[in-house]
Amino acid sequence: MSFSRKVVCPYCGAVNRIPGDRLDDNPRCGKCSKDIFASRPVDLTSANFHSHIANSEIPVLVDFWAEWCGPCKVMAPAFEKAAVALEPNVRLAKLNTENEQQIAAQFDIRSIPTMILFKDGKEIARQSGAMMGGQIEQWVNSQLG
């Protein structure tokens, strides 16, 4: 028997409980019927940040970035690729630090891009600076053991 996992819908924000052995079966949200995993990062804002971090029982990797940041733009395709590779075991998300300065300050973001890996609502690892290719996946996997 597999343990179920709570996962937040990237579209409507509903918390869905999904059997662990069904995460790979393209689960759909019980509220809005959209795919729970879209193989792309979720956009986080002050309205949904806490819910995704606190209510998700799979790890969440957040890329803190800004539109004006050159290294952030260079890393964006690698982060998108990592979403395809790491879902459904890890949710990838992006938070624009210019739009959400209060959250960036709460997590003491001093340089961007900075990635923070959350598990069970708590920060477990942090990496500043752009990563390319499979480096993001390798870093996440090394942190999760």
- Residues annotated catalytic, as ranges: 69, 72
* Helical (H) or strand (E) element with 103: helix 101-106
Report the distance separating Cα 109 and Cα 129, nearest Å.
12
Buried b (16+ CB within 10 A) or exposed e, 88-105: bbbbbbbbbbeebeebbe
Residue closest to 75 by CA, chosen among 117, 129, 130, 115: 130
Report the distance separating Cα 97 and Cα 111, nearest Å.
10
Beta-carbon contacts of 90 under 8 Å, excluding residues fewer than 6 positions away, are 58, 59, 60, 61, 140, 144
Q: Output the six-digit token pair for 29.
A: 């949200």
